[in-house]
Structure 1
Protein backbone atom coordinates (compact mmCIF):
# COMPACT_ATOMS: atom_id res chain seq x y z
CA UNK A 1 0.00 0.00 0.00
CA UNK A 2 1.27 3.47 -0.85
CA UNK A 3 2.68 5.39 2.17
CA UNK A 4 0.57 8.48 1.49
CA UNK A 5 -2.56 6.34 1.43
CA UNK A 6 -1.57 4.81 4.77
CA UNK A 7 -1.03 8.32 6.15
CA UNK A 8 -4.44 9.40 4.87
CA UNK A 9 -6.18 6.40 6.42
CA UNK A 10 -4.44 7.02 9.75
CA UNK A 11 -5.42 10.68 9.71
CA UNK A 12 -9.01 9.78 8.85
CA UNK A 13 -9.13 7.30 11.73
CA UNK A 14 -7.90 9.91 14.22
CA UNK A 15 -10.19 12.68 12.97
CA UNK A 16 -13.18 10.37 12.68
CA UNK A 17 -12.68 9.03 16.19
CA UNK A 18 -12.39 12.53 17.68
CA UNK A 19 -15.02 14.40 15.66
CA UNK A 20 -17.62 11.74 14.86
CA UNK A 21 -17.27 9.21 17.68
CA UNK A 22 -16.19 11.79 20.30
CA UNK A 23 -13.44 9.51 21.60
CA UNK A 24 -10.68 10.95 23.78
CA UNK A 25 -7.86 12.36 21.64
CA UNK A 26 -5.23 10.15 23.27
CA UNK A 27 -7.22 7.00 22.51
CA UNK A 28 -7.88 8.21 18.97
CA UNK A 29 -4.15 8.75 18.41
CA UNK A 30 -3.33 5.29 19.74
CA UNK A 31 -5.99 3.82 17.46
CA UNK A 32 -4.56 5.73 14.51
CA UNK A 33 -1.05 4.52 15.33
CA UNK A 34 -2.24 0.92 15.50
CA UNK A 35 -4.11 1.34 12.20
CA UNK A 36 -1.03 2.76 10.46
CA UNK A 37 1.12 0.01 11.94
CA UNK A 38 -1.24 -2.70 10.69
CA UNK A 39 -1.32 -1.19 7.19
CA UNK A 40 2.46 -0.69 6.98
CA UNK A 41 4.65 -3.41 5.50
CA UNK A 42 6.48 -5.74 7.83
CA UNK A 43 5.99 -8.88 9.88
CA UNK A 44 2.52 -9.05 11.42
CA UNK A 45 3.74 -10.28 14.80
CA UNK A 46 5.86 -7.14 15.31
CA UNK A 47 3.22 -4.52 14.51
CA UNK A 48 1.51 -3.98 17.89
CA UNK A 49 4.77 -4.32 19.89
CA UNK A 50 6.27 -1.70 17.57
CA UNK A 51 3.51 0.77 18.52
CA UNK A 52 3.95 -0.02 22.22
CA UNK A 53 7.72 0.43 21.98
CA UNK A 54 7.38 3.76 20.17
CA UNK A 55 4.88 4.96 22.78
CA UNK A 56 7.25 3.93 25.57
CA UNK A 57 10.18 5.73 23.94
CA UNK A 58 8.13 8.90 23.52
CA UNK A 59 6.80 8.78 27.08
CA UNK A 60 10.31 8.25 28.43
CA UNK A 61 11.67 11.22 26.51
CA UNK A 62 9.04 13.66 27.78
CA UNK A 63 8.53 12.31 31.31
CA UNK A 64 11.24 14.52 32.84
CA UNK A 65 9.83 17.64 31.17
CA UNK A 66 6.31 16.87 32.42
CA UNK A 67 7.60 16.13 35.92
CA UNK A 68 9.55 19.39 36.10
CA UNK A 69 6.58 21.35 34.75
CA UNK A 70 4.38 19.84 37.47
CA UNK A 71 6.88 20.86 40.14
CA UNK A 72 7.14 24.41 38.78
CA UNK A 73 3.35 24.66 38.54
CA UNK A 74 2.94 23.53 42.15
CA UNK A 75 5.54 26.07 43.30
CA UNK A 76 3.72 28.81 41.39
CA UNK A 77 0.40 27.82 42.98
CA UNK A 78 1.83 27.81 46.51
CA UNK A 79 3.69 31.11 46.10
CA UNK A 80 0.74 32.94 44.52
CA UNK A 81 2.59 33.53 41.26
CA UNK A 82 -0.07 31.68 39.27
CA UNK A 83 -2.77 34.06 40.54
CA UNK A 84 -0.59 37.00 39.61
CA UNK A 85 -0.11 35.67 36.08
CA UNK A 86 -3.88 35.15 35.69
CA UNK A 87 -4.62 38.68 36.95
CA UNK A 88 -2.05 40.13 34.53
CA UNK A 89 -3.65 38.34 31.57
CA UNK A 90 -7.14 39.40 32.70
CA UNK A 91 -6.05 43.03 32.85
CA UNK A 92 -4.41 42.72 29.44
CA UNK A 93 -7.29 40.93 27.68
CA UNK A 94 -10.25 42.20 29.70
CA UNK A 95 -13.02 40.42 31.56
CA UNK A 96 -14.93 39.52 28.37
CA UNK A 97 -12.03 37.39 27.15
CA UNK A 98 -11.36 35.84 30.55
CA UNK A 99 -11.64 32.33 29.15
CA UNK A 100 -8.70 32.97 26.85
CA UNK A 101 -6.65 34.29 29.76
Structure 2
Protein backbone atom coordinates (compact mmCIF):
# COMPACT_ATOMS: atom_id res chain seq x y z
CA UNK A 1 0.00 0.00 0.00
CA UNK A 2 1.26 3.44 -0.81
CA UNK A 3 1.14 6.48 1.45
CA UNK A 4 -1.11 8.33 -1.00
CA UNK A 5 -3.87 5.73 -1.01
CA UNK A 6 -7.16 7.37 -0.11
CA UNK A 7 -5.70 10.86 -0.55
CA UNK A 8 -7.35 13.42 -2.78
CA UNK A 9 -5.88 16.43 -4.49
CA UNK A 10 -7.59 19.22 -2.61
CA UNK A 11 -8.24 22.79 -3.58
CA UNK A 12 -5.62 24.90 -1.83
CA UNK A 13 -5.65 28.66 -1.15
CA UNK A 14 -4.69 30.89 -4.05
CA UNK A 15 -3.79 34.56 -3.73
CA UNK A 16 -5.46 36.11 -0.67
CA UNK A 17 -7.60 33.06 0.16
CA UNK A 18 -7.32 31.56 3.64
CA UNK A 19 -8.69 28.48 5.43
CA UNK A 20 -11.45 29.12 7.98
CA UNK A 21 -13.81 27.23 10.28
CA UNK A 22 -17.48 28.24 10.50
CA UNK A 23 -18.35 29.23 14.08
CA UNK A 24 -21.87 30.69 13.76
CA UNK A 25 -24.68 30.79 11.25
CA UNK A 26 -25.89 34.39 11.08
CA UNK A 27 -28.71 34.06 8.56
CA UNK A 28 -29.23 36.04 5.36
CA UNK A 29 -26.51 33.92 3.68
CA UNK A 30 -23.86 35.02 6.15
CA UNK A 31 -21.67 33.04 8.53
CA UNK A 32 -19.13 33.93 11.20
CA UNK A 33 -15.77 32.27 10.50
CA UNK A 34 -12.51 31.92 12.43
CA UNK A 35 -9.68 32.20 9.92
CA UNK A 36 -6.29 30.50 10.15
CA UNK A 37 -4.63 33.94 10.21
CA UNK A 38 -6.27 34.49 13.62
CA UNK A 39 -9.00 36.87 12.45
CA UNK A 40 -12.73 36.45 13.11
CA UNK A 41 -14.67 37.50 10.00
CA UNK A 42 -18.22 37.70 8.74
CA UNK A 43 -18.34 35.74 5.50
CA UNK A 44 -20.92 35.92 2.75
CA UNK A 45 -22.14 32.79 0.96
CA UNK A 46 -22.35 33.70 -2.74
CA UNK A 47 -25.44 32.99 -4.81
CA UNK A 48 -23.73 30.26 -6.83
CA UNK A 49 -23.33 28.22 -3.62
CA UNK A 50 -26.78 28.83 -2.13
CA UNK A 51 -29.11 25.81 -2.27
CA UNK A 52 -26.32 23.74 -3.86
CA UNK A 53 -23.74 23.52 -1.11
CA UNK A 54 -25.00 23.50 2.46
CA UNK A 55 -22.68 25.06 5.01
CA UNK A 56 -23.01 24.23 8.70
CA UNK A 57 -21.18 25.13 11.90
CA UNK A 58 -17.72 23.56 12.25
CA UNK A 59 -17.35 23.16 8.48
CA UNK A 60 -13.95 23.99 7.03
CA UNK A 61 -14.21 26.55 4.25
CA UNK A 62 -11.93 28.60 2.08
CA UNK A 63 -12.61 32.34 2.27
CA UNK A 64 -11.29 35.36 0.43
CA UNK A 65 -11.10 38.49 2.62
CA UNK A 66 -12.39 41.70 1.11
CA UNK A 67 -9.76 44.22 0.04
CA UNK A 68 -11.62 47.21 1.47
CA UNK A 69 -12.93 45.62 4.72
CA UNK A 70 -10.64 43.06 6.30
CA UNK A 71 -13.29 41.93 8.81
CA UNK A 72 -15.49 40.58 5.99
CA UNK A 73 -14.94 37.85 3.41
CA UNK A 74 -16.57 35.71 0.72
CA UNK A 75 -16.84 31.93 1.03
CA UNK A 76 -15.08 30.42 -1.98
CA UNK A 77 -15.11 26.68 -1.22
CA UNK A 78 -16.45 24.21 1.35
CA UNK A 79 -14.50 21.08 2.24
CA UNK A 80 -16.28 17.82 3.02
CA UNK A 81 -15.54 16.07 6.32
CA UNK A 82 -13.01 13.66 4.82
CA UNK A 83 -11.24 16.51 3.04
CA UNK A 84 -11.12 18.57 6.24
CA UNK A 85 -9.66 15.58 8.11
CA UNK A 86 -7.01 15.24 5.41
CA UNK A 87 -6.14 18.95 5.72
CA UNK A 88 -5.77 18.53 9.49
CA UNK A 89 -3.56 15.45 9.08
CA UNK A 90 -1.33 17.29 6.61
CA UNK A 91 -1.03 20.26 8.99
CA UNK A 92 -2.71 22.87 6.79
CA UNK A 93 -5.31 23.71 9.44
CA UNK A 94 -5.30 23.43 13.22
CA UNK A 95 -8.12 23.12 15.72
CA UNK A 96 -6.53 25.63 18.09
CA UNK A 97 -7.36 28.65 15.92
Alignment TM-score > 0.5, same fold: no
Larger radius of gyration: 1
User: Which structure shows the higher helix fraction?
Assistant: 1
TM-score normalized with structure 2 length: 0.20
TM-score (norm 1): 0.19
